Chain A
Amino acid sequence: MSGVLIAEQSLNGLQFGLMLFLLAAGLTLVFGIMDMINLAHGSLYMIGAYLMAALVQATGSFWLALPLALAATAAIGVVLEVSIVRALYARDHLTQVLATFAIILIANEVVRLIWGPQPILLAPPEALAGPVELVPGFQYASYRLVILGIGAGVALLLYVLVARTRVGMLVRAGASNREMAVAMGVNIRLLFTAVFGLGAALCALAGALLGPVLAVQVGMGENILIIAFVVIVIGGIGSIRGAFVGAVLVGVVDTLGRALLPALFGTFLSPQYASSAGPAASSVLIYVLMAAVLFFRPQGLFPARG
């Protein structure tokens, strides 16, 4: 087990974690403030990735396409919120679950109609296609480094927005006690639409950045949505800080687990068991983590709700 491998996987884990944070942040705010379960969040992530791929094709430039993709997805998010999602806030959880599940089906099919069922290509920008040498002997994909940078930057921006600005205060107030926020005269409708739109933009960012790393295909949203849920349960509903800690934790544990566990199992199990048990255990690791957190802190690590 080389140090380089561990370092590389740790960075990958951090990168994955930061992207998870982008997804989880929007999701946890919607849960926390609107008390609404939104399964279609993953679909916004997918739409962001697809729009990014299409815009890169159209404009020929990665960096030009990125803000456009974010804006377009945010717009779609706002339209979704105003038309359907808004009517769901007052409804019970079952209705919310089923309605947003229906949206997933619709979104998947629309994407399939437009782009077909095969995964499409989204390439990283030319300049970042190669590796960079961080320390002598340790090379790391430069694109992934940029993802890390952007992810960390956005996380910082979000923190500043939520913790240090008036708008952020409104958001936090809404997350911890919605009735009180309404009673204090906050324009709830606008706030909700804005939060939803911001969440959509964050999803699009994650989707656009991860597109070159993972595959851009129908169903990509569903897989990552579950992990985002795990992040939120661990971090605590409604808490940005919780989403951050949870995301980094899950990202690192999952990535390192997948890299290290099979090898670890190989040392004391026979090869035929290790080849099954290893991957099985590593895919289960984050759920075990979630179960453990739930057992000791059922409200998550940093619950926003009082």
Chain B
Amino acid sequence: MARYRTLVAGALLAALALPFVLRATGHDFQIVFAARIMIYAIAAASLNLAIGYGGMISFGHAAFFGGGAYMVGILAAEGVHSAWLAWPAAVAVAALAALMVGALSLATRGVYFIMITLAFAQMFYYVFVSLEAYGGDDGMSLAQRSGLGFGLDPSDDITWYYVVLVLMVAVLYLLHRLIHSRFGRVIVAIRENESRAEAIGFPVYRYKLACFVISGAIAGLAGALVANHANYVSPSLLHWMQSGTLMIMVILGGVGRFWGAPIGAFVMLALEETLSGSGVLGAYSVHWQLPVGIIMLAIVMYAPRGIAGAFRGRNA
């Protein structure tokens, strides 16, 4: 346990020091990349809550992720640039969407549930894409990143990195407390043995819905950040294939393992960057999704517990 704590503390220190190390070694660009990894870590963590802890295989999280992003984009287009308004709005919209999708989907299970979450998420995609005023098919740019106040300049890469780091740490900490709380116990119990959980007095549907909404809300936060990160909101953020990408991160890192999400996000994005960017694939770099797909298939078939799952020890 002490060793675990040391590792976590060490990782946190490393994360705090990273931008300066990168700048000193002339790898400025990686600071932006690191921020992107952390944003996807938040998104993956939200999905891990639903899938890994809640046992709800949602293929619709792109709706909440992209919805949060679009909220920021739309508000920016209407002149609202403050993060203190736009980001909570993004979270609220995502939570509302999750409430809607969850309420209808959680009455079903198994194959039905997966398909229905997928279908509803795609519905959101079509709604947003048809909004010509907000970019339609092409998406829309943000004039600037959301204003933070306090004299902070979000367009500065290092400042942005720390903003994202603070939020990621906060989200992970909140999730940690959630999982160990009464609510978390019930959620895991429901995943473990739903009928008995119901039989000992827990209204299962309500708990699952609450878990789903919390998960969606966090995905919305990640969406707000991703919109800011690129200063651009793309409709592909809402597409169900995006849900698939997030799912890959979750299983890569380890479903239901606490550190699975950040690990999965890191590995997936690093893989993508390596395969598409550097010269590894040479002339075939544009086809980087092929080796990713193969690796994914191999992992799913032969190492389904993912990277974090390979380490022994209790589920955190």
Contact = CB atoms under 8 A, between A and B. Distances in A.
Whether the complex brings A and B within 8 Å at their CB atoms is answered yes
Interface of A: 31, 35, 37, 84, 87, 93-95, 97-99, 101-106, 108-110, 112-113, 222, 226, 229-230, 232-233, 237, 275-276, 279-280, 283-284, 287, 290-291, 294-295, 298
B189 interface: no
B297 A237 contact: no
Given A35-B111, A229-B115, A276 B287 contact: no
A105 B297 CA distance: 10
Label chain A's interface by main secondary structure.
helix
Interface stretch (B152-160, B208-216, B239-247): B239-247
A226 B290 contact: no
Contacts of B297: 84, 99, 102-103, 106
A291 B116 CA distance: 9
B116 A105 contact: no
Interface string B100-120: 000010011011101110111
Interface string B248-291: 10010001000000000000000000000000000010010110
A112 B292 CA distance: 15
Given A94-B57, A102-B293, A109-B290, A287 B300 contact: no
Contacts of A109: 287, 289-290, 293
Contacts of A284: 123, 126-127
Contacts of B301: 84, 87, 95, 99
A230 B296 contact: no
A298 B118 contact: no
Contact of A93 (B57, B132, B287): B57
Interface of B: 51, 57, 59, 104, 107-108, 110-112, 114-116, 118-120, 122-123, 126-127, 130-133, 240-241, 244, 247-248, 251, 255, 284, 287, 289-290, 292-294, 296-297, 300-301, 304
B247 A97 contact: yes
A280 B131 contact: yes
A211 B290 CA distance: 25
A83 to B, nearest CB: 11
B127 A280 contact: yes
A118 B240 CA distance: 22
Contacts of A105: 289-290, 292-293, 296
Contacts of B240: 222, 226
B110 A93 contact: yes
B119 A290 contact: yes
Contacts of A98: 244, 247-248, 251, 296, 300
Q: Which 5 A-B pairs have the closest CB atoms?
A: A105-B293, A283-B126, A109-B290, A280-B130, A287-B123
A244 to B, nearest CB: 18
Contacts, number: 117
Nearest to B51: A94
A229 B290 contact: no
Nearest to B121: A226
A220 B11 CA distance: 43
Given A94-B255, A229-B118, A284-B127, A106 B111 contact: no
Contacts of B287: 109, 112-113
A287 B112 contact: no
A110 B294 CA distance: 11
A103 B57 contact: no
Given A108-B289, A290-B119, 6 more contacts: A87-B301, A230-B119, A233-B112, A233-B119, A280-B126, A280-B131
B244 A298 contact: no
B293 A37 contact: no
B236 to A, nearest CB: 11
A113 B114 CA distance: 31
Q: Which of B123, B251, B292 has the most CB of A within 10 A?
A: B123
Contact of B132 (A229, A276, A287, A291): A276
A31 B111 contact: yes
A182 B107 CA distance: 30
Contacts of B284: 113
A107 B305 CA distance: 25
A279 B120 CA distance: 17
21 contacts: A37-B114, A93-B57, A94-B57, A95-B300, A97-B114, A98-B244, A101-B247, A102-B248, A102-B297, A102-B300, A105-B293, A109-B289, A113-B290, A226-B118, A233-B112, A233-B119, A237-B111, A280-B131, A284-B127, A290-B119, A291-B120
Contacts of A295: 104
A102 B292 CA distance: 8
Contacts of A226: 118-119, 122, 240
B300 A99 contact: yes
Contacts of B130: 276, 279-280, 283
Nearest to A272: B133
A104 B247 CA distance: 14
Nearest to B290: A109
A195 B139 CA distance: 41
B119 A97 contact: no
A129 B51 CA distance: 50
Nearest to B248: A98
Contacts of B123: 283-284, 287
Contacts of A108: 289
B170 to A, nearest CB: 28
A106 B119 contact: no
A290 B105 CA distance: 11
B119 to A, nearest CB: 5
B114 to A, nearest CB: 6
Contacts of B133: 276
Q: Which of B57, B112, B284, B301 has the most CB of A within 10 A?
A: B112
